[in-house]
Amino acid sequence: MKKADDPAISSTSLPRYLEHLSGDGKAIGVLTSGGDAQGMNAAVRAVVRMGIYVGAKVFFIYEGYQGMVDGGSNIVEATWESVSSILQVGGTIIGSARCQVFRSREGRLKAACNLVRLGITNLCVIGGDGSLTGANIFRKEWNGLLEELAKNGEIDKDAVQKYSYLNVVGMVGSIDNDFCGTDMTIGTDSALHRIIEVVDAIMTTAQSHQRTFVLEVMGRHCGYLALVSALACGADWVFLPESPPEEGWEENMCLKLSENRARKKRLNIIIVAEGAIDIQNKPITSEKIKELVVKQLGFDTRVTILGHVQRGGTPSAFDRILASRMGVEAVLALLEATPETPACVVSLRGNHAVRLPLMECVQMTQDVQKAMDERRFKEAVQLRGRSFEGNLKIYKRLAIKLPDDKITKSNCNVAVINVGAPAAGMNAAVRSAVRVGIADGHRMLAVYDGFDGFAKGNVKEIGWGDVGGWTGQGGSILGTKRTLPGKNLEKIAEQIRSHSINALLIIGGFEAYLGLLELAAAREKHEAFCVPMVMVPATVSNNVPGSDFSIGADTALNTITDTCDRIKQSASGTKRRVFIIETMGGYCGYLANMGGLASGADAAYIFEEPFDIRDLQSNVEHLTEKMKTTIQRGLILRNESCNVNYTTDFIYQLYSEEGKGVFDCRKNVLGHMQQGGAPSPFDRNFGTKISARAMAWISDKLKGSPGAGKKFVSDDSICVLGISKRDLLFQPVAELREKTDFEHRIPKEQWWLKLRPLMKILAKYEASYDVSDAGKLESLRQQQGTSHGEPAAI
């Protein structure tokens, strides 16, 4: 590894590594402020451990700004072990409080005095827009505050020079996802988990009694939670502060509810954000909606207010990984900051961590509220960002069916098929495709039991009502098989002809990708395959070339994380125990690596990073050292195919022998529980959105070719749709062939391998971390304007 002073390293040509950044002599203060959110602890842990790793001192500031003002025992140096076992804890262990005193200059003077005495000139603030604005005011006044303190004799003159500027980096912790500039704030995904758990539970009781349920979720000024949970559970109606219902909504809603009942739907779900308003800015309450439904329709109606349940509980895998990535990025931003650097906020764009100017984001967040106050609702929705706008459009398309005579028929038949192993979220994708297809005027056909069923003619028309209630169902309702089309090309071509299929949407994993390649190759021989075909990746292994994410991987990751949490808890009672856990994924180490990051594992063995007996030995030594501290337990993850000889049994026996007298071992193979279960909110939402986009692509292709006669032979008519960094891309399978390792069924390059050093650093290993992607402060406006593909809002 070249060191920073090596003349061969130029800042532009070669990757920059973490080793080139030093935190020696720096002191970082970390605080959580405002409302708490799940995942804040993961962010605190990442800041503390990354800070210590680079040689800085890190201080906990307890009780937010109040603790900064009060000083004393509220500001304490953190150690590596002080953030152990907090990854799975909701809320914030360092406390949060709303602080009036800090709003006054006297309060900020006291705070500055407390920080300077400990040499803290770097602040990492985790909170909402109010907390971040406060930090920025503090940063601007810093120099003046120090001069005033020196004048009053509270600090000496040298301190004013030595600590002349304050660096501030923010991370947004808020369950409402109400901050402009980031696709997701820390805590949002976990809050959605709580809401969806409740909705799934309520659906079963509502169905038994034919009830209507009005669910009130949090979101005083932002309807994100209401909108996404409505999308994820297929709610009948949703009320948001940003997009009030049109005049006469009362009749429209009652009409929609009674129509749904007439279609034999036994329940209605209405979701209301707590800040919901009508066009006149008057509140719409859940009680008001209940009274309306009872009076107009006489339906048995109940109200459930979720309240603080949404803030509580353990953080989801997504929030832990997001917060860990942001925490590390925040420390890097503080190490690189100069007196000229404006306060920045660490954000997520697509699948990319970026830095944005703090005040630009705060300004835009306040502009949304202003637009709502002035009843410019269309603008408010646009200012919320492309993710919010896209969600709203898709919700409207999927929730409300136009009468048949209002839909322009395309005279095209589009088939939907599931291929490969089942993955949670497949059904949400099928529902979305069917409804968008019908809204676009196509006749939708469902193919049952994969390519096998296709060859046998298991093809039936599927209607709008047939896919009702599918979003929350795990597995694959259409049935799915791993069989490839190769053996039955003749029969499948015959079925495409006899059913006059004009386009095909394939939802599946690596088999679906291989199947698509086989169909592409067979186009020369069989004219029937010359139709637009698109694949949406759905597999727990997340190993499809052309996409950073697959439907089903998030649900599997949450299963692994939950299990690891329970296993770690069982170890905390027995002490000195190491668990070895085997995850699925074939040769793809995504689940083992990300599961390790989300559950705070000591090591994760994966195929992509070859390891030998020396690595195993060093892991055992590392755990032996760890057992001497207060953290007396270990967690090791192993991908099922990471090494043919170093099996789970072998590793278990090696650890048991080498750890004799120091720790004992247990092993656990998670198996097929990773494929089952109800889909997570992320997978429901992702499946719904990506599948709707795939159908829009099919409609565009078919629009350009009136009638059934046109042959599609070009490479770009047979694609994989996926997320790549910040963009949604349609990539021809012909081009993806070069990017695929067919022997091991994985893409040749995988984005998540860049996060591997992160897991090692947070587990106290030396690791070489490439930080070339980090470091550029981007403008928010530029963010919204640039992108060669479509924005991939997660």
Mean pLDDT for 647-670 is: 94
Give me the chain's average pLDDT, please.
Answer: 91
What pLDDT was estimated at residue 779? 76
Q: Give Cα 551 distance to the centre of its chain.
A: 12
Summarised one tens digit per residue, pLDDT across range 371-412 is 999 999 999 999 998 889 999 999 999 988 888 889 999 999
Q: Is the pLDDT of residue 117 over 90?
A: yes
Mean pLDDT for 327-351 is: 91
DSSP state of 748: S
What pLDDT was estimated at residue 95? 95
Summarised one tens digit per residue, pLDDT across range 664-704 is 999 999 999 999 899 999 999 999 999 999 999 999 999 87
What pLDDT was estimated at residue 705? 65
Distance CA 450, CA 421 (A): 10
Report the share of the chain in percent with pLDDT over 70: 95
**Catalytic option among 36, 70, 129, 176:** 176
Q: Is the pLDDT of residue 307 over 50?
A: yes
Distance CA 785, CA 31 (A): 33
DSSP state of 74: G
Summarised one tens digit per residue, pLDDT across range 765-776 is 888 777 766 657
Summarised one tens digit per residue, pLDDT across range 224-242 is 999 999 999 999 999 999 9
Q: Is the pLDDT of residue 15 over 80?
A: no
Report the share of the chain in percent with pLDDT over 90: 80
| Residue 600 zone, left/alpha/beta (φ > 0; ψ -120 to 50; rest) | left
Distance CA 740, CA 588 (A): 12
Question: Buried b vs exposed e over 152-162: b needs ≥16 C-beta within 10 Å?
Answer: eebbeeebbee
Give me the DSSP letters along 90-112: -S-TT-----SGGGSHHHHHHHH
Catalytic-residue membership of 176: yes
What pLDDT was estimated at residue 792? 61
Mean pLDDT for 415-435 is: 97
Q: Is the pLDDT of residue 125 over 70?
A: yes
Distance CA 660, CA 670 (A): 25
Summarised one tens digit per residue, pLDDT across range 188-220 is 999 999 999 999 999 888 888 888 999 999 999
